[in-house]
Amino acid sequence: MFQNVIVKQPCHRIAEGITSSPELGKPDYEKALEQHCAYVKALEKTGAKVCVLEANDAFPDSCFVEDTAVLTSKCAIVTNPGADSRKDETAAIVPVLQHFFPKEVIEFIHAPGTLEGGDVMMVRNHFYVGKSSRTNAEGIRQFLDILKKYGLSGSEVPLEHVLHLKTGVNYIENRNILVSGEFKNNSQFESYQKIEIPEEEAYAANSIWMNGTVIVPQGYPQTEQLIRDAGYPVITVDASEFRKIDGGLSCLSLRFTSLL
């Protein structure tokens, strides 16, 4: 169960966010705010207490707070984002984390290592970490060393096509895992019960488990039905404005249980 969630409001400069899909157009600020509000309400419906951080206009992508930290049952790991325009986002998350984690268990990824939270998927006490354009070998080495220090484990997953690991694979508990694209035949996930997302709905592979419920992006009916058929209650939320700047549902929050 996740008792706590941290989110960060979209900023006025959201239209300047990094994108690999300019054909989708630029996000509309007011619509993004409305969608973010609905996202927070969906999280609250699952019983979580949501901490909403104010927007920061210095960083167009800063609503994707997941990339700034990895929060475990034993420690918090502050990342070092691989995108140059996002590196300083982590400074703002540290004082927030100190409300939830003792200072002595807040760890850091240091340059030249890079790591973004979107590349990390937690399965209980094991963490899969994607080697991507944003997360490099040195960042992964540091990350795995920190996990070992706290009795946790991890393994590297080389990425071929997607931006982040969780763009295409997400664990929804009970040994069930959502997979799309390159992850459908990845041997590292053979032991899980795979829910294969249709290629035309690949964006919806980035759905999130929250306290027994799965939150799914709106507009992907096949994925929604597959998840319902697997026995989960579903809440759908519109994430269309965030998709325009390469963001999914997991990107918009840090989901965890406080150690304080």
Summarised one tens digit per residue, pLDDT across range 88-107 is: 999 999 999 999 999 999 99
Structure confidence at residue 163 as a pLDDT band (50, 70, 90): confident
Global pTM value: 0.96
Concatenated DSSP letters of 182-198: GGTT-GGGTTSEEEEPP
Q: How confident is the model at residue 169 (pLDDT cuts 50, 70, 90)?
A: very high
Give which of 83, 46, 54 is closest to 68, Cα–Cα: 83
In degrees, to the nearest 5, what angle opens at C-alpha 126 toward C-alphas 2 and 142?
105
174 confidence band (pLDDT: 50, 70, 90): very high
**pLDDT tens digits, one per residue of 27-52:** 999 999 999 999 999 999 999 999 99
Q: How high is the mean pLDDT of the chain? A: 97
What's the pLDDT tens digit per position in 55-80?
A: 999 999 999 999 999 999 999 999 99
Number of residues that this document lists for the chain: 260
Indicate if the pLDDT at residue 5 is higher than 90: yes
Active site residues: 164, 251
Burial of 183 (0-12, 13-18, 19+ CB in 10 A): buried
Give the distance from CA 222 to its chain's centroid: 22
Task: For the chain, list the domains and their CATH numbers.
Answer: 4-159+238-256 (3.75.10.10)
Of the candidates 169, 70, 154, which has an alpha carbon nearest to the alpha carbon of residue 115? 70
What is the structure's pLDDT at 217?
A: 98
Three-class secondary structure of residue 183 per DSSP: helix
Q: How confident is the model at residue 190 (pLDDT cuts 50, 70, 90)?
A: very high
Extract the tokens encoding 212.
């027994």
Helices (H), ranges, 155-202: 165-168
